[in-house]
Amino acid sequence: MSAAILLTRVLFVAGSALLVFRAVTHLLAGDDPVRLVAGLFMVAYLAWVVLETRVTFQEPSQEAAESRTLTAYASARTVVGICAVLPAVPWTAWSPWLAAPIAVFGAGIALRFAAIRALGRQYTHQVVKRDDHELVTHGPYRMLRHPAYSGMLLANAGFVGFFLNPAAVVALGLLAAALGWRIVTEERVLWSLAGYPAFAATRARLIPGVW
């Protein structure tokens, strides 16, 4: 196992442990509604992380085209969670506006899982071009080239929006940068796939009308 992959896994375990600790701390805070919702939100985020664990640590059936972007992307994603939950929740009272970032999180999760379902067995966290690779154009792929990444970024933006602090905002920016690097690298691998250039010409990569 390379040092980069080991670092990614250590960060994953540390981030998950911190999420559990902070969630329990908030859930035991008594009758404070903001901390109660914050604790439940952390549990939801942790459940999402756990649901993807099988794929996160799965070795690809074929050799990965590269691993540097996976390390950067996975590390940035973990750092976002750590930076979001480590400080105290900035809100002192419940407001209906706090439901907005939770809704954004839910929308991101829904988009990501819809994209994963559309990809089926081709979904992996590694950049791999299979011998039997098929171009997927249904589901969210009718509108975007990388909707799983869009959903992941949207969900993390909602999480950061609730636990709003400067470190988490910076970490979210780093995650967006890591995603951009990963997408550009991934598309170099996919460009020789039959039909991919035409597919890419009619869809944004991550955000409609932006990029």
- Closest by CA position to 129, among listed 193, 179, 178, 71: 193
Q: Residue 78 pLDDT more than 80? A: yes
Residue 58 burial (CB count, 10 A): 11
User: 135-194, pLDDT tens digit by residue?
Assistant: 999 999 999 999 999 999 999 999 999 999 999 999 999 999 999 999 999 898 889 888
Cβ proximity of 134 and 156 under 8 Å: no
C-alpha 158/C-alpha 211 separation (Å) is 20
Q: Which of 54-58, 61-65, 197-201 has the lowest mean pLDDT?
A: 61-65
pLDDT of the residue at 149: 96
Q: What is the pTM of this model?
A: 0.92
User: 23-42, pLDDT tens digit by residue?
Assistant: 999 999 878 899 999 999 99
pLDDT band at 130 (very low <50, low <70, confident <90, very high): low
